[in-house]
């Protein structure tokens, strides 16, 4: 039976979702589940969660928990990474300091200034994890869920020899949302996506060989549908292809919306959304801790109620409302690699000509075939030139941030921020330099060597 290690297992609701999916497979019910977190209380909660999940499913998982990373990784076959370096406090810095300079953000975890600094403090830790893996479990797959996805995966395949794939929910959630918008069951929809993480594009969106985009264009004129996804519908209207990830994310990836106060209100752009969501997650953990300690029956749907006022889709996600049609990828990957059952997932991998009109060696998100032989990325071909052009703007920022971290080159941090489309549309170069200096100083020892 495989050993599956979860790093950052204190994200207990997500840990519970993954464990439920993994241990639902009969072939994986005797797996060793190794949990690791740097927070002892969160680790204890994850251990209780894992044991209870195994019991509820009638599985016989061997559950281990350790504050020692190398101990947790020893002999692992799969390593699922879910860390958030710096936690809530670091997230506040990523919002508060740019706000002083007039730069507003919504999520700030993937692209833009927030994404750059989350990458800079996460890459050193992730590389340490990879170096441990190279020594104690060199054949293991690293399945990464941590953001900023593209920058982290890029750093791993450039800086280590670890087998890695980045996993996200945006393709699954987007196709599920669009199926609801147009009233077509998801299982009847065929699609192909290609691009970069959180800015992927639905290149094909069909049922029975017929194009569903005309239907989507028609329903988006319905105010009740349009109001659910205003930013993405505006991008779809102009670019002709629907982007993955939510409107709140996409609003800060481009220079067209947040710099205009009237559009923030008109398009319902939730400034500081991730701060509110982080606060809800802290509440969810505390409620989870109470339930686990008291022996109360664990109810994921009750916990989702905390999130519903902020984001119905987020609440639906953590409650597993659409798990039957859009399951998490990590459990499917592990099952396919162990049993040989072929599946197609969307993974973040190195661009080895998979999308020829995006830069070679950047990180792209493409279909991947998973079976007994491994994870094989699929050739997508050139994507529409307007979509590739927008992707390349974000890729430029990603490259500078990765180079800054791997080379210890502080100048590239400034370059990454000055190339960001939102920051450059609002701030002067002097403000960008001053803001970047302040962020580097605020994050202190979390920054890579050479940047402090």
> Which residue numbers are catalytic?
169
Assign residue 208 a region (left: φ > 0; alpha: ψ between -120 and 50; beta: otherwise).
Answer: left
Q: How far apart are CA 213 and CA 206, in angstroms?
A: 8
Tokens of 96: 């508060």
Assign residue 195 a region (left: φ > 0; alpha: ψ between -120 and 50; beta: otherwise).
Answer: left
E-strand ranges in 159-223 read 163-166, 190-196, 199-207, 210-211
Q: How far apart are CA 386 and CA 373, in angstroms?
A: 35
Note whether 29 and 23 are within 8 A (CB): yes
Residue 243 is given by DSSP the state B
Using CB atoms within 10 Å of the CB of residue 139, give its burial: 0 to 12 exposed, 13 to 18 middle, 19+ buried. Answer: exposed
Q: How far apart are CA 327 and CA 18, in angstroms?
A: 9
Tokens of 312: 């119905």
Q: How far apart are CA 114 and CA 447, in angstroms?
A: 14
Note whether 77 and 137 are within 8 A (CB): yes
């Amino acid at each position: 039976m495989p050993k599956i290690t979860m790093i950052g297992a204190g994200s207990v609701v997500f840990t519970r979702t993954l464990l439920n999916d993994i241990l639902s497979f009969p072939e994986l019910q005797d797996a060793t589940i190794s949990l690791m977190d740097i927070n002892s209380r969160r680790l204890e909660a994850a251990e209780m969660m894992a044991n209870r999940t195994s019991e509820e499913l009638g599985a016989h998982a061997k559950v281990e928990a350790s504050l020692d990373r190398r101990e947790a990784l020893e002999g692992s076959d799969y390593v699922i990474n879910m860390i958030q370096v710096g936690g809530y406090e670091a997230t506040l810095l990523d919002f508060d300091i740019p706000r002083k300079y007039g730069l507003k953000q919504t999520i700030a975890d993937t692209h833009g200034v927030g994404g750059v600094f989350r990458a800079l403090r996460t890459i050193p830790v992730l590389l340490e994890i990879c170096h441990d893996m190279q020594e104690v479990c060199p054949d293991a797959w690293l399945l990464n869920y941590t953001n900023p996805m593209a920058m982290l995966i890029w750093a791993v395949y450039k800086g280590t020899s670890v087998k890695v794939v980045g996993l996200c929910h945006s393709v699954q959630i987007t196709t599920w949302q669009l199926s609801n918008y147009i009233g077509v069951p998801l299982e009847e929809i065929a699609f192909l996506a290609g691009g970069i993480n959180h800015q992927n594009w639905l290149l094909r969106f069909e049922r029975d060989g017929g194009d569903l985009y005309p239907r989507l264009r028609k329903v988006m004129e319905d105010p009740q549908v349009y109001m659910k996804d205003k930013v993405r519908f505006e991008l779809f209207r102009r670019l002709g292809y629907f982007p993955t990830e939510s409107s709140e994310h996409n609003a800060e990836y481009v220079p067209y919306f947040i710099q205009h106060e009237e559009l923030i209100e008109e398009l319902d752009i939730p400034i500081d959304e991730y701060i509110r969501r982080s606060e809800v997650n802290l509440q969810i953990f505390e409620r989870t801790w109470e339930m686990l300690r008291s022996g109360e029956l664990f109810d994921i749907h009750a916990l989702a109620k905390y999130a519903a006022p902020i984001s119905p889709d987020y609440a639906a996600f953590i409650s597993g409302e659409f798990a039957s049609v859009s399951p998490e990828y990590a459990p499917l990957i592990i099952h396919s690699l162990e049993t040989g059952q072929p599946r197609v997932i969307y993974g973040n991998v190195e661009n080895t000509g998979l999308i020829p009109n995006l830069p070679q060696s950047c990180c792209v998100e493409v279909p991947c075939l998973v079976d007994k032989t491994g994870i094989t990325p699929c050739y997508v071909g050139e994507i529409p030139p307007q979509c590739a052009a927008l992707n390349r703007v974000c890729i430029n920022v990603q490259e500078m941030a990765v180079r800054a971290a791997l080379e210890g080159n502080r100048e590239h941090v400034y370059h990454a921020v000055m190339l960001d489309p939102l920051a450059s549309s609002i701030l002067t170069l002097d403000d960008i330099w001053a803001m970047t200096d302040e962020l580097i100083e605020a994050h202190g020892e979390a920054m890579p060597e050479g940047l402090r």
